Amino acid sequence: MSGEAFVTLATTDSYCMGATVVARSLRRHGTTRGIVVMVTPNVSQQSRLALESVFDEVIMVDVMDSEDRLHLALLGRPELGITFTKIHCWTLTQYSKCVFLDADTLVLCNVDELFERDELSAAPDPGWPDCFNSGVFVLRPSLHTHTGLMDHALQHGSFDGNARLHVQTDKLEATIVHFLGPVKPWSSSSQRDDGSSHATEQFATLWWKEYLSHTTPSTPGKQPSQDWKKPQQVPRP
Ligand code: UDP
Ligand code: MN
């Protein structure tokens, strides 16, 4: 198969809320690509059903990969579980190219042009400009690359921020909001009250609007419903 897809990941019900917004915001802006979410078995059935109504494909993945050496390594390295799960997107070889989006991102306009970029394109990390931020990146699924990345992660630890890469940024940052850090839009309001900037609050408001917006039930092709309102103008910081 040679299709292309946006891919996100949710290993908890909270991150499923985020994944829902990723899919809705992509559909709102009329993507022509597939929209796929990887989930782990601990995600509740209710959350999975909700995801099925907005994603083209809900793919069950295991936090622990089937390879024994990985099990052993993970026993001593629980923090690598999510990292390995993210790397799982390289196994989606039914797609020729994917754009991975963290579940804490919000798409502000059509970003299908990202598929014109090649593996591996990403934006620099705001705190570590010579590293890339793995919240948004373009990849070509390949089992060979998958194995290589897992070996690398096992030897060197965190996947995030360990690679120096040629980065292509220009439009990426202006068109996708990434709520990186421990406080997410779906975090409790007491957490969010702590020092959020005005711009962050405005984007969080937009996130909630998208989360609470109505979507049509699952239909082939999943076109956005007619009564979707035009998104409001986002005030720039
Ligand atoms: N993630 C997840 N469950 C977790 C933590 C992370 O599914 O408990 C996924 C989710 O897609 C998330 C991504 O891994 O967006 C990276 O984590 P996060 O966005 O919290 O990291 P940050 O961008 O804040 O560094
Ligand atoms: Mn993130």
Choice among 32-41, 112-121, 142-151, 215-224 with the minimum mean pLDDT: 215-224
Torsion of Cα atoms, 190 then 18 then 16 then 119, to 10°: -140
CA angle at 123 for the pair 193 and 98, rounded to the nearest 5°: 105
pTM: 0.81
ipTM over 0.95: yes
CA angle at 184 for the pair 179 and 187, rounded to the nearest 5°: 170
Ligand 1 near 82 CB (within 6 A): yes
CA quadruple 74, 75, 81, 83: dihedral sign? negative
pLDDT at 127 over 50: yes
- Tell me what pLDDT residue 205 has: 92
Bridge partners for 225 per DSSP: none
pLDDT at 173 over 70: no
Ligand 1 near 104 CB (within 6 A): yes
Tell me phi and psi for residue 201, to 5 degrees.
Answer: -60, -40
Residue 8 CA: nearest ligand 1 atom is 11
Distance 187 CA to ligand 1 centre (A): 13
- Tell me what pLDDT residue 84 has: 76
Top mutation candidate among 8, 14, 15 for ligand 1, by most atoms within 8 Å of CB:
15
What pLDDT digit, counting tens, does each position of 57-102 carry?
Answer: 999 987 755 455 566 666 676 666 777 788 899 999 999 999 999 9
Residue 181 CA: nearest ligand 1 atom is 24
Ligand 1 near 135 CB (within 6 A): yes
What pLDDT digit, counting tens, does each position of 10-59 carry?
Answer: 999 999 999 999 999 999 999 999 999 999 999 999 999 999 999 999 99
Distance 83 CA to ligand 1 centre (A): 9
Measured in Å, how far apart are the chain's first and last C-alpha atoms? 42
Residues written for the chain: 237
- Average pLDDT in the chain: 78
Residue whose CA lies nearest to ligand 1 atom number 3? 11
Tell me the ligand closest to 181's alpha carbon: 1
Tell me the ligand closest to 51's alpha carbon: 1
CA quadruple 174, 175, 180, 186: dihedral sign? positive
Ligand 1 near 103 CB (within 6 A): yes
